[in-house]
């Protein structure tokens, strides 16, 4: 009984020591299906579109800082430090140069800021080929010379440097294995500065599992800790690649692709042109048959790869270019087949069209004859209306001449009563009203949709109601003449017995009601007269 009690107490202590985050549900999938991959590929598409803009923004910041430094009489150390930070991913070679200037000939190991600058500098060296310098510097600035607060960062930089060298010489196993062992040893010492359950501890643990060949433990531990790292953190990309490689070593290709896509998204968000995850996603998609998407990803990656390409990444770039060349050739062959298919279909369609043209030739001729008849009828109708208007104008002018003549007679004291009658102009007014009434009825009979079309050009609150007595307002009567093709304002003024200024005033009144005042005349010709 005592033994069971002791075992129970031990189990309770072990469970209590497990961090809360390990007990929580893991959101990232250990088993991936197509929906997971499709979701992440859609996110990757969006990040690829934003990546070029992010690169341009980073380059702009670098150029701006260069101008600031050039404008100063003397460049301060903090300027070199800032330039090193800005160039780290976009221009690694420049970052090394600026960091060398910031460090100077030597550093003070007791200064934490200088130590941190040195560690960042050393992690850049292997990627640019300065391997001996990086290894010698690690030996020179040994852990005993580093302040206690900076020793974990020293070990983190050490395992990063050794891991880069191991990857660089992956084709030479004796060198690669030696530096992989050094990376594992440095990582184990680094883990001693953290408690089990800390994010840093678990990241290092997952990487060690991978380097030691325990791939199931590597991706299990890696997926669990990846949930607590932001995508904009470079560690997210590094750990995602480790998880993808671990899945790949176990033959689980879908999971490998999923975490490569996550790594590519992280590298794009971090604006890391030298990252190879996007190219490797393209390789995987090409092998699975998604050639178009693979070609797009590899093209996007290689466009900016020269900004920070490294020798260690050369095999990835060469594979990308080889696959792009193969995909291009496959597309060419596909396009050739497609051209022949389209040519055959086109010939068949041309034959069908020729038959249809012959079939409808007679019908088209008949329709053309009917159209000519309709056009002739329309011309005759317009001629009839214009002749009618000429008659009205002539009658109006004769009556007006008669009024002036009678007025002169009466002015000479002849027939005073006739003078009073004619001076009122009632004869002409009555004749004009009759003529206008005939004109309105005739016009609305010929063009019953005139008011509706004109109203379509006016604001809703300014539109004219349909006349119930077949009588047009004066301004619409003026535009009725324009509809008939009569645009001589003097002629219209004579017919309506108005001054030319009155005609212009009415035109302006209608234009003021238009939806588009500037385009009203053109819209009238296109909508009403057409």
Mean pLDDT of the chain: 78
The sign of the torsion formed by the CA atoms of 377, 383, 384, 385 equals positive
Task: For residue 187, give the 3-state DSSP assignment.
Answer: helix
d(CA 224, CA 369): 82
pLDDT at 55: 79
- Average pLDDT rounded to a whole number, residues 476-504: 87
Q: How many CB atoms lie within 10 A of CB 409?
A: 14
Higher-scoring residue by pLDDT: 417, 240: 240
Give domain status of residue 143, yes or no.
Answer: no
- Average pLDDT rounded to a whole number, residues 492-498: 84
Are 308 and 273 a contacting pair, CB within 8 Å?
yes
Q: Is the pLDDT of residue 1 over 50?
A: no
Residue 310 tokens, joined:
């490294």
pLDDT at 376: 59
- Average pLDDT rounded to a whole number, residues 88-103: 82
- Average pLDDT rounded to a whole number, residues 138-165: 84
Lowest mean pLDDT among 8-22, 86-100, 127-141, 272-286: 8-22
Q: Is the pLDDT of residue 353 over 70?
A: yes
d(CA 382, CA 446): 9
- Best mean pLDDT range from 2-6, 210-214, 271-275: 210-214
Number of domains observed in the structure of the chain: 1
Q: What is the pTM of this model?
A: 0.53
pLDDT at 390: 64
Residue 264 tokens, joined:
């590519």
Are 206 and 222 a contacting pair, CB within 8 Å?
yes
pLDDT at 169: 84
- Average pLDDT rounded to a whole number, residues 193-217: 88
Residue-wise pLDDT tens digits, 258-312 = 999 998 888 888 877 777 788 888 888 888 877 778 777 777 777 655 444 444 4
Q: Alpha helices, DSSP H only, in 250-308?
A: 253-269, 277-288, 291-303
**DSSP at 397:** H
pLDDT at 311: 43
> Domain range spanning residue 447?
426-530
Give domain status of residue 483, yes or no.
Answer: yes
The residues, ordered by sequence, that sit 6+ positions from 247 with a Cβ below 8 Å of its Cβ are: 215, 219, 253, 255, 256, 259
pLDDT at 268: 86
Residue-wise pLDDT tens digits, 445-484 = 778 888 888 889 999 888 988 888 878 888 888 888 888 8
pLDDT at 4: 45
pLDDT band for 391, please (50, 70, 90 cuts): low
Q: Is the pLDDT of residue 443 over 50?
A: yes
Q: Is the pLDDT of residue 94 over 50?
A: yes
pLDDT band for 6, please (50, 70, 90 cuts): very low
pLDDT at 153: 87
Residue 276 tokens, joined:
């190879």
- Best mean pLDDT range from 22-26, 41-45, 420-424: 41-45
Q: How many CB atoms lie within 10 A of CB 76?
A: 11
The residues, ordered by sequence, that sit 6+ positions from 403 with a Cβ below 8 Å of its Cβ are: 422, 425, 427, 428
Q: Is the pLDDT of residue 438 over 70?
A: yes
- Average pLDDT rounded to a whole number, residues 201-212: 88
Residue 79 tokens, joined:
């300027």
pLDDT at 258: 92
Query: pLDDT exceeding 70 applies to what percent of the chain?
Result: 80
Q: Is the pLDDT of residue 12 over 60?
A: no
d(CA 34, CA 39): 9
Higher-scoring residue by pLDDT: 209, 395: 209
Are 153 and 115 a contacting pair, CB within 8 Å?
yes
Tell me which residue of 432, 445, 368 sits closest to 400, measured CA to CA.
Answer: 432
Per-residue exposure over 310-329, b if at least 16 CB sit within 10 Å of its own CB, e if not:
bebbeebbebbeebbeebee
pLDDT band for 494, please (50, 70, 90 cuts): confident
Q: Is the pLDDT of residue 232 over 50?
A: yes
pLDDT at 433: 76
Q: Is the pLDDT of residue 28 over 50?
A: yes
Angle at 159 between CA 20 and CA 58, to 5 degrees: 85
Give domain status of residue 461, yes or no.
Answer: yes
């Amino acid at each position: 009984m005592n033994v069971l009690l002791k075992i129970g107490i031990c189990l309770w202590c072990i469970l209590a020591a497990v961090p809360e985050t390990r007990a929580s549900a893991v959101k990232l999938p250990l088993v991936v299906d197509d929906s997971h991959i499709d979701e992440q590929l859609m996110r990757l598409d969006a990040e690829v579109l934003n990546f070029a803009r992010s690169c341009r923004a980073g380059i702009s910041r670098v150029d701006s800082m260069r101008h600031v430094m050039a404008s100063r009489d003397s460049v301060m150390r903090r300027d070199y430090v800032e330039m090193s930070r800005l160039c780290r991913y976009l221009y690694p070679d420049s970052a090394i140069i600026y960091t060398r200037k910031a460090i100077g000939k030597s550093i003070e190991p007791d200064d934490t800021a200088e130590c941190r600058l040195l560690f960042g500098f050393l992690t850049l060296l292997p990627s640019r080929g300065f391997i001996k310098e990086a290894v010698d510097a690690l030996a020179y600035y040994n852990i005993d010379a580093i302040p206690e607060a900076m020793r974990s960062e020293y070990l983190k930089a050490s395992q990063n440097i050794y891991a880069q060298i191991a990857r660089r010489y992956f084709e030479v196993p004796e060198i690669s294995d030696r530096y992989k062992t050094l990376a594992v040893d440095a990582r184990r010492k680094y883990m001693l500065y953290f408690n089990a359950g800390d994010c840093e501890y678990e990241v290092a643990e997952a990487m060690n599992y991978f380097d030691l060949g325990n791939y199931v433990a590597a991706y299990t531990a890696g997926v669990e800790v990846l949930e607590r790292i932001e995508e904009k953190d470079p560690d997210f990309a590094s750990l995602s690649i480790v998880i993808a490689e671990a899945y790949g070593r176990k033959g689980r290709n879908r999971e490998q692709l999923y975490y490569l896509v996550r790594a590519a998204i992280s590298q794009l968000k971090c604006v890391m042109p030298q990252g190879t995850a996007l190219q490797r996603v393209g390789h995987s998609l090409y092998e699975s048959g998604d050639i178009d998407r693979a070609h797009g990803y590899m093209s996007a990656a290689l466009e900016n790869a020269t900004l920070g390409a490294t020798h260690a990444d050369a095999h990835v770039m060469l594979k990308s270019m080889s696959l792009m060349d193969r995909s291009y050739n496959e597309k060419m062959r596909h396009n050739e087949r497609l051209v022949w298919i389209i040519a055959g279909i086109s010939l068949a369609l041309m034959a069908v069209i020729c038959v249809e043209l012959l079939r409808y030739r007679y019908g088209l001729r008949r329709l053309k004859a009917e159209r000519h008849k309709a056009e002739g009828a329309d011309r005759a109708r317009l001629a009839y209306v214009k002749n009618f208007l000429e008659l009205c104008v002539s009658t109006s002018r004769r009556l007006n001449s008669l009024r002036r003549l009678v007025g002169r007679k009466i002015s000479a004291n002849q027939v005073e009563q006739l003078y009073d009658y004619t001076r009122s102009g009632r004869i002409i007014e009555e004749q004009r009203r009759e003529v206008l009434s005939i004109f309105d009825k005739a016009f609305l009979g010929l063009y019953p949709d005139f008011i509706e079309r004109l109203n379509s050009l006016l604001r809703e609150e300014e539109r004219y109601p349909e006349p119930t007595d077949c009588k047009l307002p004066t301004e619409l009567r003026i535009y009725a003449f324009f509809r008939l093709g009569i645009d001589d304002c003097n002629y219209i003024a004579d017919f309506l017995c108005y001054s030319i200024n009155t005609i212009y005033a009415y035109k302006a009144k209608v234009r003021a009601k238009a939806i588009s005042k500037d385009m009203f005349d053109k819209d009238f010709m296109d909508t009403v007269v057409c």
